[in-house]
Amino acid sequence: MSSRAVFLDRDGTINFDPGYISDPNKVILLPFVGESLFKLKEIYKFKLIVVSNQSGISRGLMSHDDVKKVNNRINELLAAYKTGIDAFYYCPFHPEFSSEVELECRKPSPKMIFDASGDHDIDLKKSYLIGDKAADVGCGFNAGVKTVLIKSETYNEEISILLNEGKSPNFVAENFKDASQYIISDFSGGK
As annotated, the active-site residues are 9, 11
Distance CA 51, CA 123 (A): 16
94, burial (CB in 10 Å: exposed 0-12, middle 13-18, buried 19+): middle
- Indicate the Cα dihedral angle 175, 181, 182, 184, nearest 10°: 150
Pairing of strands 4-8, 46-53: parallel
Backbone angles phi, psi at 47, to 5 degrees: -75, 145
